[in-house]
Structure 1
Amino acid sequence: MKKQKTLIFHPLLPFLLLLQIFGVASNAQPNRLSTNFYRNICPNVESLVRAAVETKFRQTFVTAPATLRLFFHDCFVRGCDASILLASPNGKAEKDHPDNLSLAGDGFDTVIKAKSAVDSIAQCRNKVSCADILALAARDAVNLAGGPFYPVELGRRDGRISTIAGVQRKIPGPGFSLNHLISMFSRHKLHLTDLIALSGAHTIGFSHCGRFSHRIYNFSRSSSIDPTLNMAYAMQLRQTCPKNVDPRIAINMDPTTFNTFDNAYYKNLIEGKGLFTSDQELFTDARSRATVNLFASNSAAFGDAFAQAMIKLGRIGVLTGKKGEIRIDCSKPN
């Protein structure tokens, strides 16, 4: 008769298996973003960043739109890796691209100040990435301006690469059609509602005359003014931006409550007061009009949608775990 094999059960086997499972999970954790990533590394990171942003915000309101736009421009190019902060000695970094030259210096300064505040604490020094500091600063800037407060997922690491060529066709332009915008946002797993909500950031933004002057002068053979523009608003824009004026002159994108992060942007679209073609098309296009109407009539719905869209935006192309680095100086690789 064939001898039967004896199976030996080791009393520690279940424990070893659990240890192995949780060990894998533990090793995998740094590769994921989480709201409590710095709990044991720099537990006060959020309050440190908040205090720095608040100080900067009290000095100039431009802190809010500048920091928010900086975060968006960073995430849409190489992912949220703070590559927008890198400087190049020969002017070949992301920040040197024409689409980024209008980024306000106050956004960069906000991150520098917040980084300095975090690194002033010995436990935190060089432990928090510039990418995470930018994500936190953007949230705090929005909230200080009257917008929603939302949880920021952390654990990003900083990229080492920043090239001017990498920006090409990755930043939404003021003349983009809704089809173009939908295609661009969908590549980052952002849907139409996210697109409409994130466009609401223009409620505290500003723009230069050269970005929209074609809509108020020589728009077409049949009309010198874009017919989707409110005529009174178009005349107001002409006064602010007359022909041959310095195209770098800046005006507020929200002509009503430009110093408050609110839903006035959508109310303006309904009245034909969207500054960019890409803004106004959100109302003229039937696919997005219902959401514009919802956000215009319900500020809570806009706030919730914006918060969710910002969380999703912050996940784009992140570097985690052993990828990337934590920069000592946000403007240059280690």
Structure 2
Amino acid sequence: MTSSRKRRRPAGRLRRTLLASLVAGAVVLPLSAATAVPDAPAPAAIGFGDGSGAGADAAAVQERYTAALAGVAGAAAMAEDAGRPERAAKLREMTAGGSAQFLAFDGHGKGRAVEVFGRLATADRVTVLVPGSDTTLDTYQRFRAGAVALQQRLEREHPESAVVAWLGYDAPGTVSPTVATTGRADEAARELAPFLDRLPALTAPGARLSLLCHSYGSVVCARTRTGPAVTDMVLYGSPGTGAGAAAALPTGARVWAGRGSRDWIAHVPHVRFAGIGFGTDPVDPAFGARPFAAGAAGHSDYLKPGTRSLDSLAAIVLGTAAPEASHG
């Protein structure tokens, strides 16, 4: 009886792994299908190709904001003329109120955008948010909502804070061949690294720069070489990084990792074979990242107002997080 049970265990584990994968696919497939975006007409991209939106100095920032807003408006008009009213509505929503601050914008295809919340020129606590799969101009409001919530949370304790929502790459679909490989992340890292290098010129001298990286965005950050201005890299809701340990990442920043107790990504197998998968779980102590408490966050809940995860992320950005904080 005992030997029979032992023989059945590997098969049982395999069945559970396959079931978890199917469940995750069932959860995210409708979202992925809903966010598939065909090519859209748009004006020439603004701000990309020069470090993904970071200008040479702070004096040019306001001009960039003005030009990018005009680009968003132009893309909305072209989408409307092309019979894409839903895309046009999403673009107009991005500029509602006329006060949005975009360092860069590209309305073609799924779209890319780099938006600033707060005043960069006086900020000495600056956060760059890197989103995960299925983030496009058509789902941008979800990404923006998290950036706004973080900025509001930071300003309660430190008014000289700024958040940069960096959608500077073509994020893969959650259900797609590319989402299980590092290909898109490697492309994104080549855009993100020069942006991070140039960003300190737009902030207060000596500003602390933090990278907050969600889901597939954690793969992007883990492939990005960072300079000394980046003090903290935070991986949350991560499927893995493609690296076996935090020490192997091309950064001198403190590396943090957290996962909420309701995040379905916990069921993704942490394996890497023939370039597929991302290997060691970043919240595994063997990875060597500093743990932070993420509470009961689901996969899309880490930046929701009033959550333990948002408090923890804000503490990391502000430099007040306790290294001994635990997951949970």
TM-score after normalising by structure 2: 0.26
Indicate the structure with greater helix content: 1
Higher relative contact order (CA 8 A, sep 6+): 1
Q: Which structure has more strand as a fraction of its residues?
A: 2
Please identify the structure whose Cα radius of gyration is greater: 1
User: TM-score with structure 1 length normalisation?
Assistant: 0.26
